[in-house]
Structure 1
Amino acid sequence: MAACAGPDSETGGSSGIDAAADSVPPASLHALKWGVYLPASESFSESYGQVSDIAGAHPDYVLKFAALAEAVPAVQLREISGLGATPILSLEPWDPPAGSGGDDATAAAVAQPDFALSRIAAGGHDVGLIRWATGLRDLGFAVVLRFAHEMNGDWYPWAVGVNGNTSGDYVAAWRHVHKLFRSVGASNVQFLWSPNVPVANQTSDLAAAYPGADAVDILGLDGYNWGEGDGHTWVEPAALFDAGLGQLRALPGTQPILISETASAEGAAAGQSKAEWIARLMSHCSSQERVMGFIWFDANKERDWRISSSQAAQAAFAASLAKVV
């Protein structure tokens, strides 16, 4: 995984997509939905209950990752829906590197020409895609499909600029997948288009890979505060998200916007507080036009992204969430 990539890939309550800083007038705030990525476990029920207790509210969404070659995780998706949450399924067209659990986008993982976007658009993976489309259709409840996310980075084989992929190839591949799902009657599946926040040395024009309002139900945006180290610096929520949010709002269409992956490291220097970052995130999201919620990446991975990484962070999350849900 490249240094700027989101810490996402897991290979290994509501239906559908439908703290505040004192400087933001309460009248400008709107209610948010929220969700969580939970690391793979035998039971989502236990981990869902634990994070609900920590946050003081039940997540509306649970984010899960799966590779295209994998079987549809029907049991887990049913469990998530049964808890009252909507599953958000990040479907990744690649073969995760052996032994990595899908967590590290190594050079070998990125260099997978079999998953070039032009091949997807030409029908080279239709067997697998139709299997997913019919499997999700047959669940009979709302599922959000987040296909080939963070296409504007360089850490996945489906990314623009990798394996010969162009923005036009991405649009063609997305529209092909959307057409397949609709052709089998998977009307319970909504499509979430989810670029990464624009970062230096990566594709900054999100519009070029936008598949169109007729093929996208929800706009997403991924972004993390990595804190200091490994080439990163501390970044506050407004600085992290505002440029990308502006680009999303300028696209054709009026879809809701979801912060589809986010989290913060603990601060390592004076003035760097994860607790304060959490409060600012929720306040800022709640004040932003069309932003309807966020998904927190609750895992101890490249950083300790968890809500419970410290007592201060945990308390801030619960107090801030109570103001915006």
Structure 2
Amino acid sequence: MRIRARGRAIALSAVALVGAGTVLSACGSAAGNDGSKGGKSATNARAATLAEGRSAAAGGDCGADAKLMPKCGAYWGIYSVQGKSLTSAVTDIEGKVGRRFDIVLRFHDWSNAAGPGRFPDASERVLGGSRLLFFAWESKVYQKQQSYKWRDIAAGAYDKSVVEPVAERVRAYGKKVFMSFDPEMDRHQNKGEMKGSPAEYVAAARHVHDVFQRAGVKNVVWVWVTTGTMSGVNPQRMLDSYPGDAYVDWVGWDPYNFYKCHNGPWHSFDEKVGPTYRFFQQHGLAKKPFILPEYGTQYDPADPKRSIQWYREIPGVLRGKYPNIAGLIRFDAGPGCNLKVDNGPGMLGSYAAAGRDTYLNTSGH
């Protein structure tokens, strides 16, 4: 669930560092797309297939294939608005943690205008020189808080004015980029922020993908991003919103330990990631690489040790339990729910220590 204010999100973005790897070919579809649900044995076999090409050891340049899948370890990324500019927001925290990040994430809108709608911009080009860029592209205009309907996007209503110009600029950029169309689409199927039904999202996502393909765009790695919320009707809603393997290269979701901000219990990194990870594996996506485009935690002043441990456990948990997760991007912003990286004593140091683990140094930095 996203907690940032869009007015701040349009100004800056997150960076993920270039990593390495071996990407898999498109795998079995999720239930609701090809009718298959994938039993437990099939799920285990798919997970084993993914793990075959990946090593638990990193430290050194793993390399990356056409879909940017690292064959060892996982990308360590950042989204930050804690700076005077996009570049300084990223480079300032890099200086504090003692390493360059692997990916930069930035949010862009549907305005096709200078600023939030025209990308990649000059700052992104600078950061992209030694990092991967991740564009989260949302079908709304931030300034007007105006959203567009998926059925209209699928019908081609915005091809000439928005989709084709963006496709051309991304193609001209040339370097491989991650890109998601309407991340957390399941959140936009609730009353009050309805963009359409799951089927309409699927049609829109496929149409945008096809427009890029017809424009000769070969440098986009498509990431399908949900909230990952495992309550109520949302698990089925997520499955129903899956565009299909031919349209999805990576699968992503956004786990947060909101704690008292949402009046909930404390959850460790493992506890937040595990349920959605297992759900996607069990429903036909086990051969897709996974990424956490946003994640974060609050700080617990009553128990600082467990707050610090939240970061420290990440490398070991990924290495030992979640081989599909090949990238994660820390959401570094506040106020509201304070989810900044350095949101309490000891947090910055433990985060920096996690990022120095060999499993999270796929580029040999």
Please state which band the TM-score falls in when normalised by the shorter chain.
Answer: 0.7 to 0.9
Q: Matches of 2:151 and 2:323 in 1, distance apart?
A: 35
| 2:355 alignment partner, one of 317, 321, 325 | 321
Partner of 1:89: 135
User: Structure 1: 5+ residue runs without aligned partners?
Assistant: 19-26, 99-108
Secondary structure of residue in 2 paired with 1:31: coil
Partner of 1:35: 77
Does 2:247 correspond to 1:215?
A: yes
Please say if residues 198 and 241 of structure 2, whose CA atoms lie closer than 8 Å, have aligned partners that are also in contact.
Answer: yes
Please say if residues 207 and 247 of structure 1, whose CA atoms lie closer than 8 Å, have aligned partners that are also in contact.
Answer: no
Cα gap change, 1:15/1:179 in structure 2, threshold over 3 Å: closer, same or farther? farther
Task: Note the 1:64-83 alignment, pairs <5 A.
Answer: 64-69=106-111, 70-82=117-129
Q: Matches of 2:292 and 2:154 in 1, distance apart?
A: 27
- The CA deviation string for residues 236-271 of structure 1, in whole angstroms up to 9 with x for no partner, is 222212121123223247221111100111114347
Please say if residues 148 and 195 of structure 2, whose CA atoms lie closer than 8 Å, have aligned partners that are also in contact.
Answer: no
Task: Note the 1:236-255 alignment, pairs <5 A.
Answer: 236-249=268-281, 250-252=283-285, 254-255=287-288
Q: Matches of 1:55 and 1:44 in 2, distance apart?
A: 17
| Count of residues paired in the alignment | 296
Partner of 1:60: 102
Partner of 2:90: 48
Please say if residues 16 and 190 of structure 1, whose CA atoms lie closer than 8 Å, have aligned partners that are also in contact.
Answer: no
Please say if residues 6 and 223 of structure 1, whose CA atoms lie closer than 8 Å, have aligned partners that are also in contact.
Answer: no
Per-residue deviation, 1:93:
0.4
Secondary structure of residue in 1 paired with 2:185: coil
Secondary structure of residue in 2 paired with 1:90: strand
| 1:231 alignment partner, one of 238, 242, 263 | 263
Secondary structure of residue in 1 paired with 2:100: coil
| 1:121 alignment partner, one of 146, 154, 170 | 154
Per-residue deviation, 1:41:
5.6
One-letter amino acid of the counterpart of residue 172, structure 2? D
Please say if residues 251 and 290 of structure 2, whose CA atoms lie closer than 8 Å, have aligned partners that are also in contact.
Answer: yes
Task: Note the 1:121-200 alignment, pairs <5 A.
Answer: 121-126=154-159, 127-153=161-187, 156=188, 159=189, 162-163=193-194, 165-200=196-231
One-letter amino acid of the counterpart of residue 131, structure 1? P
- The CA deviation string for residues 150-179 of structure 1, in whole angstroms up to 9 with x for no partner, is 1122xx4xx366536211111111000100
Partner of 1:293: 327
Please say if residues 297 and 305 of structure 1, whose CA atoms lie closer than 8 Å, have aligned partners that are also in contact.
Answer: yes
Per-residue deviation, 1:222:
0.6
Query: What is the percentage of aligned positions where both structures have the same residue?
Result: 20
TM-score (normalised: structure 2): 0.74
Per-residue deviation, 1:42:
5.7
Please say if residues 87 and 123 of structure 2, whose CA atoms lie closer than 8 Å, have aligned partners that are also in contact.
Answer: no
Q: Matches of 1:63 and 1:242 in 2, distance apart?
A: 23
CA RMSD of aligned residues (A): 2.6
Q: Matches of 1:234 and 1:321 in 2, distance apart?
A: 23
| Higher relative contact order, chain-length normalized (CA < 8 Å, sep 6+) | 2
Please say if residues 34 and 293 of structure 1, whose CA atoms lie closer than 8 Å, have aligned partners that are also in contact.
Answer: yes
Please say if residues 36 and 298 of structure 1, whose CA atoms lie closer than 8 Å, have aligned partners that are also in contact.
Answer: yes
Cα gap change, 1:275/1:252 in structure 2, threshold over 3 Å: closer, same or farther? closer
Q: Matches of 1:76 and 1:183 in 2, distance apart?
A: 28
- The CA deviation string for residues 182-240 of structure 1, in whole angstroms up to 9 with x for no partner, is 11111111111110122434522222111111111111111111121443332222221
Please say if residues 120 and 170 of structure 2, whose CA atoms lie closer than 8 Å, have aligned partners that are also in contact.
Answer: no
Partner of 1:282: 315
